[in-house]
Amino acid sequence: MAVEMYVPAVGESIAEVIVGEWLKSDGDLVERDEVIGALESDKTTFEIVAEAAGKLHIKAEQGTTLKIGDMLCTIEEAAAAATASPVAAYAPAETAASNGEVKTMQVPAVGESIAEVVLSAWNVADGDKVELDQILGVLDSDKSSFEIVAEASGIISLVAKEGDTLAIGDTLCQIAQTSQAAAPQKTAPQAATTQTPAANHSSAEGHPSPAASKILAEKGINTAEVKGTGVGGRITKEDALNAQKTASTAPTAAPQPPSPPKSAPTTEGERGTKREKMTTLRKTIAKRLVAAKNQTAMLTTFNEVDMSAVMELRKKYKDKFKEKHEIGLGFMSFFTKAVTMALKEVPAINAQIDGEEIIYHNYMDVGIAVSSPRGLVVPVVRNAQNLSLAGIEKEIVNLAIKARDAKLTIEEMSGGTFTITNGGIFGSMLSTPILNAPQSAILGMHNIVERPVAINGQVVIRPIMYVALSYDHRIVDGKESVTFLYRIKELIEDPSRLLLEV
């Protein structure tokens, strides 16, 4: 009997896929649930998992573009009956492990606007013993990442595969909750021993998951030097994170011929490229930035700020400030406080367009653009107008740590009314920041450089920062934008105004 395998439905918006690679050849014997190949879409990569044990007959060659429902391969079950016997002998152990109550874990609702997620990685393998509240893996959405936390203790059976695009409510895994769950595995040592050689030589051995492949590529590590701990020796995300580039992986410099004269053309040296798929978050960022440029009448105005007063105030009180509030005093809290005061005076900059209406906000939820390992994210400081400098600093530090650890929630990144971005921490002198739609304006801070300026007829050296305000000209006029930015300049150059609110 032959089992026919077809291209599965891998996502609502995906109509076709490409056969990326076959890990087995036509005529090879395969085992049930063995990874035999990979499918690629414009969004992610999906593994082809054998639906039966037997002899593989490939119907779609590598590189072929297929539609959902097209045939991939067939598996002739009878041909692998003898090979599959060790698995059959081991089946009672799996059944015994599943005799207790089974907890089914599903994709949770992670935000109102999120309908699907990508299973980035599993931290455990099929059949592992897991504990309650253990982190099992990671889900990626177009906005953030979410940890999969075990809802029970027991033996886990993985249902979804790494790279799968899942809808809210789809099944992730099942956990067999039995106190003796691990014991049955020891009842058939003979069968387990018989099975080991087959597992060791599985085609999955040394093959990285999509998440692991990306990490290894970024580290410049060859998969041949990484030992996989996943099912069948598969390289998991955790293996990739723990992998270190050894001396043997570094290319050995070959003896170089004498350098040719400068006037002569040279062709020595390696010329290579690396191609990798964009992450879900990066694709979303790209779409939104392009939309902001195309759908708004964006304009930018500039000014310069003398940072002398703020720097002197910070230098004088930073130790006492930290001693009292247990947090450092940075420049971002001064700018955030100044923004809240300026927004009260120029409410159009704290508004947004909704169809043919303008929505004015009587609160200031200030987004702080943060560069995280996964890309640019904008967590929001809620009701910033009610916070002190210490309160703002604590909230910014808390959100920055969550961004670094990929633990920001959708709620913490939604609903801002204005955004501040600080390219100065990377050395930026001047830029035109792009609007964070549907907001009507964004403030760009830059590096502080000592420059000669004229004060009272004298040329003096002062620490100067260039600031930029990008705004949507459909709702904000030039007068309002210049007034707002000049008000920021006044408040920073004379920080006593922040305390007196004048």
Residues identified as active-site: 473, 477
Within 10 A of 245 (CB to CB), how many other CB atoms are there?
13
Question: Tokens 């930015």 map to which residue?
Answer: 485
Q: Do residues 442 and 421 lie in contact, with contact meaning Cβ atoms separated by under 8 Å?
A: yes
Whole-number Å distance between alpha carbons of 102 and 174: 6
Closest alpha carbon to 174 in 126, 137, 117, 238: 126
Q: Which 8-state DSSP code applies to residue 279?
A: P
- Phi-psi region at 60: left, alpha or beta (left = phi > 0; alpha = psi -120 to 50): beta
Interior/surface letters 417-433, b for 16+ CB within 10 angstroms, e for the rest: bbbbbbbbeeebeebeb
29: its two tokens: 């014997």
Within 10 A of 259 (CB to CB), how many other CB atoms are there?
9
378: its two tokens: 């904008």
Whole-number Å distance between alpha carbons of 422 and 435: 14
Whole-number Å distance between alpha carbons of 69 and 200: 33
Helix (H) or strand (E) holding 450: strand 448-455
358, burial (CB in 10 Å: exposed 0-12, middle 13-18, buried 19+): middle
